Chains A and B, each alone.
Chain A
Amino acid sequence: MTRTLPILTVLLAIVVLWYLAAIAMNAPWQTDVYKRGGIENVPATQFVLDTWNQEKPVLPAAHQVLTELWNTTVMVAPNKPRSLIFHAWVTFSATGLGFLMGSLLGIGLAVLIVHNDATNRSLMPWIVASQTIPILALAPLIVVIGFNIFTGTLHIPTDPARLMSKAIISAYLSFFPVAVGMVKGLRSPEAIQLDLMRTYNASASQVFWKLRWPGAMPYLFTSLKIGVAASLVGAIVGELPTGAVAGLGARLLAGSYYSQTIQIWSALFAASILAALLVIAVSLVERLVGARMGVRPS
């Protein structure tokens, strides 16, 4: 209760500000419409209502975005290209596939790094350095080239090829946070705990499965949450280069080409909802794993 009230207040303030901003930003166009239509002496309430209900507003009002969301999700069959669920599914499938590949790769690499000093010393500086690089800049390259290789050289049909090339970017983006987090996690057992395992005469694999791996779980899920968010960004950006016809990113791009602001905002909202759902899903798995491992609820 003490937490929901402030959050709701802030959200309400945002909505109020949003509507006020919509009046201010849509006003010039509205006065223009009145001037061209020869309409004079418009009452203030009518003017405000009109700014909130334009067809291509500079800033669409919240209810316009929500109506569009409603119309494109519930009112349309989910297999039609007009449906946002269809686009969200396309983006989600690339995100999920990429996230799966990236996390597995990241965990595998972290295990190698923790167990081999030479790998650690060769790779770790590069992994850390690569976090400062705008990897997302590679997205168009990977999408276009990847697509060409998959369809041209490997003769994969276009749809899976498009999915794969987007998933590669997603994997690439989620790989780094997971690798770095897991290295930290697998190293989190203290010397005294490792010593205890030694006194038990535990083998390397026993130390790994009974101490390091369970100890790394909190780190794993923290980095998985970052990774899944990064994966989604990767999939959306992967849909921007020309050629993508489906997906939330393609929807954003199409909206920006045709100045369909309401469409852009609804795609953005859909992407945000998808991001929230993905993070919540990871949190749920975290809770389940935690309960299974006997974590005390805090």
Chain B
Amino acid sequence: MSQLQYFLALVAGGLAAAALAISFAWPLDSAFLLRAFLVFGTISLVRFWLPLGLWLDGALALLGAVALLTGLGIYSPQPPFFWMALVTAWLFAWLFAERLARAIHEGILPDRGFGLLIPTVFGLAILVVWEVVTRGANVPQVILPPPSMIWARIASSVPTLLADFQQTFLKAVLVGYALGCGLGFVVAILIDRSPFLKAGLLPLGNFVSALPIVGVAPIMVMWFGFDFQSKSAVVVIMTFFPMLVNTIAGLNASSLIERDLMRTYAASYWQTLLKLRLPAAAPFIFNALKINSTLALIGAIVAEFFGTPIVGMGFRISTEVGRMNVDMVWAEIAVAAVAGSLFYGVITLIERGVTFWHPSVRGA
């Protein structure tokens, strides 16, 4: 047992015992599950004489989470031992993650599968704490609605969310993304033969990446109207430069000796480009595609703050914030997060298929 584990186990067990003692000041016939969790937590102190498996800590954390969630409605306001139980459950989850990480590190458990368990436990723990704290402490839902409420809002307003998703993602983001990335790619190929233009555009492209490009949104709204075209235009401008810079860098990625080999084959410029330099540039191009997937979504959503038809994720976020319908805002953000991660994931999958030869893919 490492020092940290020892400390965690001691504090968790001790806190459970203290909370159990305090809980006797409240009527015994209620909060049965919560008390059971505290009893087991106290018993876990025997680990200092009798080693306990790490799965027992996991089970304790799970029991604590269930007990806390079911115990939410029993008291109002929540007694001190309820909050102590929350901290105890968190500590047990931490101890579990700590011991699991150690076991994986020492090769007792395989990394595959179990490695994924730790971030999952962490994510679930955050959700449980969020739910318990917001509902247990009666946090005004304007400040932070509990996850269950956000989920209920998502489930009850599927048509609105779907319409917003269609407007923002399927129209503005995808159109702008395809145009911006395509344009950046084509321009990179076009100026590839002129070292002069490359020397002029590359520093400029790098400089632009530091600028707050989303600021062009009001101009684009003025030029292309309120509908998705103006949002696509913002996305085009945001995605163009990363693609340009990365493609140019990628086209230079093939080594001199490889290009010499193509010359000895009497390969034409286009043959060299298609068979050597573009495949060698693929990791760079996919890097830009991945960066752009996030930028595109940001650009489209922020551009909608400047005026839209009455549909769209950015529009919904800004109006519902004004009306203090915070759960709807969170629902919209959840949809945006899922859409963003999926978009990124799809591009990563394509990358794995296309650049299967690259060390970073082969190694994984």
A-B contact pairs, 26 of them (CB 8 A): A3-B199, A6-B199, A10-B200, A10-B201, A58-B222, A117-B101, A121-B97, A132-B293, A134-B297, A134-B336, A137-B302, A137-B314, A137-B317, A140-B305, A141-B329, A148-B143, A149-B143, A237-B302, A240-B302, A240-B318, A256-B222, A261-B219, A268-B216, A271-B211, A271-B215, A272-B211
Question: Which B residues are CB-close (under 8 A) to A2?
Answer: 199
Least Cβ–Cβ distance between A24 and chain B, in angstroms: 12
A241 to B323, CA, bound (A): 12
- Establish whether residues A7 and B101, one from each chain, have CB atoms under 8 Å apart when the complex forms: no
B337 interface contact, C-beta 8 A: yes
Question: Which B residues are CB-close (under 8 A) to A8?
Answer: 200
B244 interface contact, C-beta 8 A: no
- Chain B interface main SS type: helix
Contact partner, B318, options A129, A135, A236, A241, Cβ 8 Å: A241
A267 interface contact, C-beta 8 A: yes
A136 interface contact, C-beta 8 A: yes
Contact with B along A114-128 (1 / 0, CB 8 A): 001110111111100
A229 to B221, CA, bound (A): 24
Question: Which A residues are CB-close (under 8 A) to B314?
Answer: 137
A42 interface contact, C-beta 8 A: no
- Establish whether residues A7 and B222, one from each chain, have CB atoms under 8 Å apart when the complex forms: no
- Total interface residues on B, CB under 8 Å, equals 66
Least Cβ–Cβ distance between B86 and chain A, in angstroms: 18
A132 to B305, CA, bound (A): 20
- Establish whether residues B204 and A10, one from each chain, have CB atoms under 8 Å apart when the complex forms: yes
- Chain A interface main SS type: helix
- Establish whether residues A9 and B200, one from each chain, have CB atoms under 8 Å apart when the complex forms: yes
- Establish whether residues A133 and B97, one from each chain, have CB atoms under 8 Å apart when the complex forms: no
Q: Which residue of A lies closest to B119 (CB)?
A: A125
List residues of chain B with CB under 8 Å of any chain A CB. 4, 94, 97-98, 100-102, 104-105, 115, 118-119, 121-123, 142-143, 196-201, 203-204, 207, 209-212, 214-219, 221-223, 293-294, 297-298, 301-302, 305-307, 313-314, 317-318, 321-322, 326, 329-330, 332-333, 336-337, 340-341, 343-345
A7 to B28, CA, bound (A): 79
Contact partner, B119, options A121, A132, A267, Cβ 8 Å: A121
- Establish whether residues B302 and A118, one from each chain, have CB atoms under 8 Å apart when the complex forms: no
A271 to B213, CA, bound (A): 9
- Establish whether residues A255 and B305, one from each chain, have CB atoms under 8 Å apart when the complex forms: no
Question: Which A residues are CB-close (under 8 A) to B118?
Answer: 118, 121-122
Least Cβ–Cβ distance between A102 and chain B, in angstroms: 16
Question: Which A residues are CB-close (under 8 A) to B222?
Answer: 58, 256, 259, 261
Least Cβ–Cβ distance between B191 and chain A, in angstroms: 10
